[in-house]
Amino acid sequence: MQQTAQIGAMPAEFRELENLVQGWSLATEHERRERRATAEFPELRAYYDVVGPRMRDIAAHLDAYPMGILPAPQKSLLQLALMYMEVAIAVEFYGQPELRDGFPRHRWVISPR
């Protein structure tokens, strides 16, 4: 499984998200899902509350960059936004990190992309 390397600081307008890069800016769906599943719910709630209000700004910022390889700070920002989607469903739908009555996640293989 692909490992997430330490990648750069935030673009200036997103400095308040900088302390989230360590621990939440993850490169693969597998890593993001594991992160959510093993988090405490209050952590997810806090992430949701901080990142959620900035999601439109993040998309607008990244949309100035062409598709392809992003510079490191923008890559971190993208990964935080993808992580937000993973976190949001737990906060808005489940009220807990993991799905209730779901198939065991260790038996569900997410192919690397």
Partner 1 sequence: MSADESKSFDHYYTPEHPELGTGPVSIEPYVSPEYFELERRCVFRRSWLLFGHVSELPNAGDYKVRDVAVFGTSIIVVRGTDGVVRAFHNVCRHRGNRLVFDNGRGNAPAFVCRMHGWAYGTDGRLRGVPEQDRFFDLDKKTCGLPPVSMEIWNGFVFIHAEAEPAQSLREYLGPLAIDMDGYPFERMRVVAEYTANLKANWKTVLNIFQEAYHVATVHRNVVPTQADVKGGSARFVHFRLHGQHRSASLPMNPSFQRSPTELLAGEFSLGFSTGTPNDPAQAWPGMNPAGIRDFAFDLNVVFPSSVIDPAQGWFFSYEFWPASVDETQFVTKIYFEEPKSWGQRIGQEFTIVQVRDGLLEDLAVLEPNQAAMASGAIDSVILSDQELAIRHQHHVIDSILRTARSNSEAATTAKLHR
Residues of the shown chain interacting with partner 1 in the complex, contacts defined by CB under 8 A? 29, 33, 52, 55-56, 58-60, 62-63, 65, 67, 70, 78, 81-82, 84-86, 88-89, 92-94, 99-103, 105, 107-111, 113
Short-list 19, 86, 57, CA closest to 10: 19
Q: How many CA atoms lie within 13 A of 18 on its CB side?
A: 9
Provide the 3-class DSSP secondary structure of residue 104.
coil
CB of 98 to partner 1, least distance (A): 9
CB of 103 to partner 1, least distance (A): 4
- State which H helix or E strand residue 23 sits in: helix 18-24
With respect to partner 1, which residue has the nearer C-beta, 13 or 108?
A: 108
With respect to partner 1, which residue has the nearer C-beta, 28 or 43?
A: 28
How far apart CA 51 and CA 90 sit, in angstroms, is 14
CB of 57 to partner 1, least distance (A): 11
